[in-house]
Chain A
């Protein structure tokens, strides 16, 4: 089975500052995808960003971007200009080659300090 590791159970950031959440993964596939999901206190799971492994360019969605290091199997999420609404649990996820099973990390709880 694939493994996804998030080594930071909790992180905090000052409002308007930048924070990076770490994720490492292990897969034997050569072509794969990686995801970050956000879970605010409402419990809803919200897709933040997706990265295709065969693409060299790091994915970006507004204030959210990734630092994808394929050789190191690292997939970090950078949040720029942090806002109070960014406070949430963030999960890194890696699907199986069929897409039938997603493997999730244990999550990082992000606090945004006003």
Chain B
């Protein structure tokens, strides 16, 4: 049981490049989400999904795209990277519903130059 697995751990991009951050969970969680962590700002929700085929925007969705074709996977796509997207990204999952804690991946540190 690996939990939530994120790849890569580190990534450097040039402005305008695209990439996909991968996230997979093996806990049969319906709910999956992406957060970004910036100094002095805590974690902010980018996108989330309550099940396969269902996604919705969070607090800071601009510049990011997601899809959920399976229960296990929830990739985050940066279509045209910008320096403002330099951050640490976390994927998190849960069974869904209020009161249940999030299970986090180990994060991806992304630098856009």
Q: A95-B98, A99-B99 are in contact. Are A106 and B40 (CB under 8 A)?
A: yes
Residues of B within 8 A of A45 (CB): 90, 92, 102, 104, 107
Encoded as 1 (CB less than 8 Å from any A CB) or 0, chain B from 8 to 19 comes to: 000000000000
**Interface residues of B: mostly helix, strand, loop or mixed?**
strand
Interface centre among A96, A99, A106 (most CB of B within 10 A): A99
Nearest chain A CB to B3 CB, angstrom units: 10
A75 CB-CB contact with B under 8 Å: no
Interface Cβ pair total, 8 Å cutoff: 65
Interface residues on A, range: 20 to 34
B2 CB-CB contact with A under 8 Å: no
Q: A45-B90, A106-B41 are in contact. Are A100 and B99 (CB under 8 A)?
A: no
Nearest chain A CB to B43 CB, angstrom units: 4
B42 lies within 8 A of A105 (CB)? yes
Which of A44, A50, A52, A105 meets B104, CB within 8 Å?
A: A44
Which of B40, B42, B98, B102 meets A98, CB within 8 Å?
A: B98
Chain B residue nearest to A49 (CB atoms) is B101
A97 CB-CB contact with B under 8 Å: yes
Chain B residue nearest to A101 (CB atoms) is B45
Residue ranges of B at the interface with A (Cβ–Cβ < 8 Å): 31, 33, 35, 40-45, 48, 50, 56, 58-59, 88, 90, 92, 94, 96-102, 104, 106-107, 109
Residue ranges of A at the interface with B (Cβ–Cβ < 8 Å): 1, 4, 9, 32-33, 35, 42-45, 47, 50, 52, 91, 93, 95-102, 104-107
Complex A-B: 10 CB contacts under 8 Å: A35-B101, A44-B104, A44-B106, A44-B107, A45-B104, A47-B101, A91-B43, A100-B50, A102-B43, A102-B92
